């Protein structure tokens, strides 16, 4: 019966969406991205393209795929689906309701942007094509509200689009993800974290306003002062409350150059103490500075006169050979033997990574300042390396690795990723129980393993994002860590990695660490309720308000 209902719905949809026609199955002249936007596709090519994602673990085929040419197409689709579900509900129909899933860059790894046979996927990449060059609008004038420059950005825009458009005006967003080929709507539905988060907060802390198509098919503008509950619900909201079609992103003057530094540590507590010290000193810095002079003269008593704008870290585990992943090619090749023997000697070593912004092309002052900064740190002597790169090259640093992996056929492989937020008070225990035990013993880890701290006060409690509870730890937790196992495996090996993920999660649960998953995936409502903890009641309440028919982003498996 579901099949027929969906068929009926789609027929109705086609006749109602004025100007939107179903296209014929592709002929040989059409390769993927050249289809015109504004069509509803039910052919196998379109449907199977929407049935996979970056994870290559979950596969689910939707009934149809909307290639929107405008926001209006999305509004119409959601409206029809909503009306349909309401009618069904009033008729006490037992068939599954229709669902709608926005699909951004589909760089989720567990099917979060998918819909099943009762759903329509909205391919936001088609909207990007349809309104490319119009989807990032930079406003630099300081007289406008909110204060400071901002960009109005389509939810379908990639962060690289935002960066390129903003830089033409000498400005840029302040909070990033490591990889820029993700959509604004997709990362704002999670949090959007990277090495800038300790200082500027996640991307969801740097949004002024949004346009959202809610689950009742209304296009609503929301901000901290208008429709505030929708605004905070959507940020970190896992696509549950509406489809973001516009976001107003805060901008600042863009740095010109970046001094990019990595240091190796053999001792975990030295590594984390240095990370925590650095983010504590630098997080409190005044954020608005338009001139280099102001940046350079800014000294808050920490003894460090730098603009540290990025801090991350990673773990290197001895696998009996040279480390190889998209992040390992930083040190000079001549250092490789020394690094290999350091890893072999300690079995697990750590790499602290930071970046210092320079606002002019004359950045000789960085030499002395960097030297001073490094003097206070306890990395293994002789294992620090730095390079100067342009701001764009720094932010877009993962792209080179991606293209290389793509050329070797190693990008479109299973990615059983596990991302965790670990309270600061338990991170040493995590190191000994996970990195130095589970990971070493199982010896299946491929791809980067990231570890870096963030400041809790840069996260807004009102958003839907979930971070470790301050109360779950013995002490006041001002800082928590993100740990990312960004595994990539062969098509055969991912189950072993998944076994390791399970063991890690069980270890954390058994130890009562109060760990939370980031980019979480669960199969049941009960597990989600536990994940949200004290935020669950509000999350559910917001769901019944903004998506009462529980149509949106079914691939998260929270309400579906």
Q: Which helix (H) or strand (E) holds 295?
A: helix 292-297
Q: Which is nearer to ligand FAD, 178 or 373 (CB)?
A: 178
101 binds ligand FAD (CB under 6 A): yes
User: Could you write out the three-class secondary structure of 85-118?
Assistant: HHHHHHCCCCCCCCEEEEECCCCCCCCCCCCCCC
Q: Which is nearer to ligand FAD, 500 or 560 (CB)?
A: 560
Q: Which of 162, 165, 238, 444 binds ligand FAD (CB under 6 A)?
A: 238
285 binds ligand FAD (CB under 6 A): no
Is 107 designated active site? yes
232 binds ligand FAD (CB under 6 A): no
Q: Which is nearer to ligand FAD, 3 or 132 (CB)?
A: 132
From 236-244, 338-346, 426-434, 453-461, give the range in contact with ligand FAD by CB under 6 A: 236-244
- Number of residues near ligand FAD (by CB under 6 A): 35
- Residues numbered 439-468 forming contacts with ligand FAD, rule: CB under 6 A: none
Q: Which is nearer to ligand FAD, 211 or 431 (CB)?
A: 211
- Residues numbered 491-520 forming contacts with ligand FAD, rule: CB under 6 A: 519
Q: Which is nearer to ligand FAD, 313 or 433 (CB)?
A: 313
Give the separation between CA 411 and CA 137, rounded to whole angstroms.
32
3-state secondary structure of 455: strand
Burial grade of 308 (CB within 10 A; 0-12, 13-18, 19 or more): buried
* Residue 446 CA: distances (Å) to CA of 343, 439, 483: 15, 10, 15
Is 496 designated active site? no
| Contact map string, positions 310 to 349, toward ligand FAD, x by CB under 6 A | ----------------------------------------
Q: Which of 97, 104, 416, 448 binds ligand FAD (CB under 6 A)?
A: 104
| Contact map string, positions 164 to 183, toward ligand FAD, x by CB under 6 A | -------------xxx--xx
Cβ 24 to ligand FAD shortest distance, Å: 26
From 104-112, 136-144, 283-291, 459-467, give the range in contact with ligand FAD by CB under 6 A: 104-112
- Residues numbered 23-62 forming contacts with ligand FAD, rule: CB under 6 A: 54
- Residues numbered 356-395 forming contacts with ligand FAD, rule: CB under 6 A: none
Q: Which of 62, 68, 148, 155 binds ligand FAD (CB under 6 A)?
A: 155
107 binds ligand FAD (CB under 6 A): yes
From 284-292, 299-307, 498-506, 550-558, give the range in contact with ligand FAD by CB under 6 A: 550-558
| Contact map string, positions 189 to 218, toward ligand FAD, x by CB under 6 A | xxxxxx------------------------
User: Could you write out the three-class secondary structure of 375-434?
Assistant: HCCCCCCCCEEEEEEEHHHHHCHHHHHHHHHHHCCCCCCCCCCEEEEEEHHHHHHHHHHH
Q: Left (φ > 0), alpha (ψ -120 to 50) or beta: where does 238 sit?
A: left
Give the separation between CA 142 and CA 274, rounded to whole angstroms.
37
Give the separation between CA 97 and CA 431, rounded to whole angstroms.
45
3-state secondary structure of 179: coil
Strands in 348-358's sheet, in edge-to-edge order, are 384-390, 257-265, 348-358, 308-317, 449-455, 479-485, 418-423, 516-518
Cβ neighbors of 471 (< 8 A, separation 6 or more) are: none
| Contact map string, positions 110 to 149, toward ligand FAD, x by CB under 6 A | --xx----------x-------------------------
3-state secondary structure of 184: helix
Look at the chain and count its residues: 560
Q: Which of 123, 152, 161, 178 is catalytic?
A: 178
Q: Which is nearer to ligand FAD, 1 or 409 (CB)?
A: 409
Q: Which of 67, 84, 107, 415 is catalytic?
A: 107
Cβ neighbors of 126 (< 8 A, separation 6 or more) are: 35, 37, 67, 68, 69
* Residue 342 CA: distances (Å) to CA of 163, 265, 336: 38, 9, 10
Cβ 3 to ligand FAD shortest distance, Å: 23
Is 404 designated active site? no
Q: Which is nearer to ligand FAD, 379 or 539 (CB)?
A: 539
Give the separation between CA 275 and CA 270, rounded to whole angstroms.
9
Among the residues of 108-250, which ranges form H helices? Answer: 124-130, 159-167, 184-188, 197-200, 228-234
CB-closest chain residue to ligand FAD? 185
Q: Which of 41, 60, 84, 105 binds ligand FAD (CB under 6 A)?
A: 105
100, 123 contact by CB (below 8 A)? no
Beta carbons within 10 angstroms of residue 382's beta carbon: 10
Would you tell me which residues interact with ligand FAD (CB under 6 A)?
A: 54, 101-108, 112-113, 124, 155, 177-179, 182-183, 185-187, 189-194, 238-239, 243-244, 519, 553, 555-556
Active site residues: 107, 178, 312
């Amino acid at each position: 019966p579901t099949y027929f209902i969906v068929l009926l719905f789609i027929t109705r949809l086609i006749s109602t969406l004025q100007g939107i026609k179903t296209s014929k199955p592709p002929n040989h002249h059409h390769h993927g991205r050249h289809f015109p936007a504004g069509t509803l596709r039910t052919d196998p090519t379109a449907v199977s393209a929407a049935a996979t994602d970056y994870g290559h673990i979950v596969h689910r085929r939707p009934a149809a795929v909307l290639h929107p040419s405008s926001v209006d197409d999305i509004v119409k689709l959601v409206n029809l689906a909503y009306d349909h579900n309401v009618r069904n509900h009033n008729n006490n129909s037992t068939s599954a309701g229709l669902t709608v899933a926005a699909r951004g860059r589909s760089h989720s790894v567990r099917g979060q942007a998918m819909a099943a046979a009762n759903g329509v996927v909205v391919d936001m990449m088609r909207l990007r094509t349809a309104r490319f060059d119009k989807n990032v609008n930079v406003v630099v004038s300081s007289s406008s509200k909110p204060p400071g420059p901002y960009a109005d950005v389509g939810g379908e825009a990639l962060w690289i689009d935002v960066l390129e458009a903003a830089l033409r005006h000498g400005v840029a967003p302040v909070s990033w993800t490591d990889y820029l080929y993700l959509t604004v709507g997709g990362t704002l539905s999670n949090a959007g974290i990277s090495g800038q988060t300790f200082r500027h907060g996640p991307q969801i802390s740097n949004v002024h306003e949004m346009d959202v198509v809610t689950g009742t098919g209304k296009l609503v503008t929301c901000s901290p002062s208008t429709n505030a509950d929708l605004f905070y619900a959507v940020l970190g909201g896992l696509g549950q409350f509406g489809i973001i079609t516009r976001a107003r992103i805060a901008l600042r003057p863009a740095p010109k150059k970046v001094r990019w530094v990595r240091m190796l540590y053999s001792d975990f507590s030295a590594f984390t103490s240095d990370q925590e010290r650095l983010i504590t000193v630098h997080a409190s810095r005044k954020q608005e500075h338009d001139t280099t002079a102001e940046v350079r003269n800014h000294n808050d008593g920490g003894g460090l006169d730098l603009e540290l704008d990025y801090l991350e870290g990673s773990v290197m585990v001895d696998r009996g050979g040279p480390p190889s992943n998209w992040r390992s090619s930083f040190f000079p090749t001549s250092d490789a033997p020394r690094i290999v023997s350091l890893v072999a000697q300690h079995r697990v070593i750590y790499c602290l990574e930071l970046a210092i912004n320079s606002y002019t092309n004359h950045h000789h002052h960085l030499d002395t300042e960097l030297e001073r900064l490094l003097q206070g740190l306890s990395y293994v002597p002789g294992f620090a390396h730095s390079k100067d790169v342009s701001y764009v090259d720094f932010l877009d640093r993962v792209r080179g690795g991606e293209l290389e992996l793509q050329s070797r056929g190693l990008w479109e492989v299973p990615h059983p990723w596990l991302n965790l937020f670990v309270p600061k008070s338990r991170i040493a225990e995590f190191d000994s129980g996970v990195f130095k035990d589970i990971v070493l013993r199982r010896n299946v880890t491929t791809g980067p393993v990231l570890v870096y701290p963030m400041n809790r006060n840069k996260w807004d409690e009102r958003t839907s994002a979930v971070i470790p509870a301050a109360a779950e730890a013995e002490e006041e937790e001002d800082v928590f860590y993100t740990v990312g196992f960004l595994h990539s495996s062969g098509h055969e090996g991912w189950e072993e990695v998944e076994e390791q993920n399970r063991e890690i999660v069980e270890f954390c649960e058994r130890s009562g660490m109060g760990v939370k998953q980031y980019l979480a995936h669960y199969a049941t409502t009960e597990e989600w309720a536990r994940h949200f903890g004290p935020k669950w009641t509000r999350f559910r309440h917001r769901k019944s308000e903004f998506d009462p028919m529980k149509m949106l982003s079914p691939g998260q498996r929270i309400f579906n």
